[in-house]
Structure 1
Amino acid sequence: MLRITSPANEKVKRVRALLEQRKARQAYRQMVLESPRLIDEALRFALRHPDYRLAFAFYAEPTPRAQETLARLQAAGVPCYEVTPAILRMCTDAETPQGLIAVAPIPELPWPAAPTFLLLLDRVQEPGNVGAVLRSAAAAGAEGVLIPPGTADPWHPKAVRAGAGAHFVLPVRRISWPELPQQVEGTALWLATPEGERTYWEVDWREPVTLVLGGEAAGPGPQVRSLPHRTVRIPMARGMESLNVAVAAALLLYEVARQRGWGRVAGSEGG
Structure 2
Amino acid sequence: MPVEKITSLHNPRIQSIRALIQRREERRERGWFVAEGVRLVEEGVQAGWQAVMALYSADLSARGQALLPALHAQGAEVFEVPASLLKQISDTETPQGILTVFARRVYSLPEPLDFVVIADNLRDPGNLGTLLRSAAAAGAQTVWLTPGTVDAFSPKVLRAGMGAHFRLPVQEVSLEWMRDFRHQHPGMHLYLAEAENGTPCWDTDLTQPLALVIGGEAEGASLEMRALVDGNITIPMPGKSESLNAAVAAGILLFEVVRQRRQAP
Please indicate, yes or no, whether the TM-score normalized by the shorter chain is above 0.5: yes
Contact 2:134 2:254 survives alignment (8 Å): yes
Residue equivalent to 2:199 = 198
**CA shift at 1:90, angstroms?**
2.2
Asked if 1:69 is matched to 2:87, the reply is no
Distance, in Å, in 2 between the alignment partners of 1:26 and 1:162 is: 20
Residue equivalent to 1:84 = 82
Residue equivalent to 1:216 = 217
Task: Identify unmatched segments of 5+ residues in structure 1.
Answer: 47-51, 265-271
- How many residues align? The count is 258
Residue equivalent to 1:39 = 41
TM-score (norm 2): 0.91
Asked if 1:148 is matched to 2:150, the reply is no
3-state SS of paired residue (1:33): strand
TM-score (norm 1): 0.89
Distance, in Å, in 2 between the alignment partners of 1:187 and 1:121 is: 17
CA RMSD after TM alignment: 1.9
Superposed, 1:45-60 pairs within 5 Å as 45-46=47-48, 53-60=50-57
Pick the aligned partner of 2:106 from 108, 124, 127.
108
**CA shift at 1:173, angstroms?**
1.5
**CA shift at 1:174, angstroms?**
0.8
Contact 1:18 1:31 survives alignment (8 Å): yes
**CA shift at 1:194, angstroms?**
0.9
Residue equivalent to 1:268 = none
Distance, in Å, in 1 between the alignment partners of 2:35 and 2:169 is: 18
**CA shift at 1:238, angstroms?**
4.1
Superposed, 1:166-185 pairs within 5 Å as 166-184=164-182, 185=185
Render the CA deviation track for 1:82-101: whole Å, top value 9, x for unaligned. Answer: 11222201222124421111
**CA shift at 1:165, angstroms?**
1.7
Residues 68 and 169 (structure 1 numbering): CA distance in 2 closer, same or farther, change over 3 Å? same
Task: Identify unmatched segments of 5+ residues in structure 2.
Answer: none
3-state SS of paired residue (1:55): strand
**CA shift at 1:21, angstroms?**
0.4
3-state SS of paired residue (2:202): coil
Superposed, 1:6-17 pairs within 5 Å as 6-17=8-19
Pick the aligned partner of 1:129 from 109, 113, 127.
127
Amino acid corresponding to residue 252 of structure 2 in structure 1: L
Distance, in Å, in 1 between the alignment partners of 2:112 and 2:93 is: 40
Amino acid corresponding to residue 21 of structure 1 in structure 2: R
Amino acid corresponding to residue 194 of structure 1 in structure 2: A
Amino acid corresponding to residue 232 of structure 2 in structure 1: T
Amino acid corresponding to residue 117 of structure 2 in structure 1: L
Distance, in Å, in 2 between the alignment partners of 1:218 and 1:72 is: 44
**CA shift at 1:71, angstroms?**
4.2
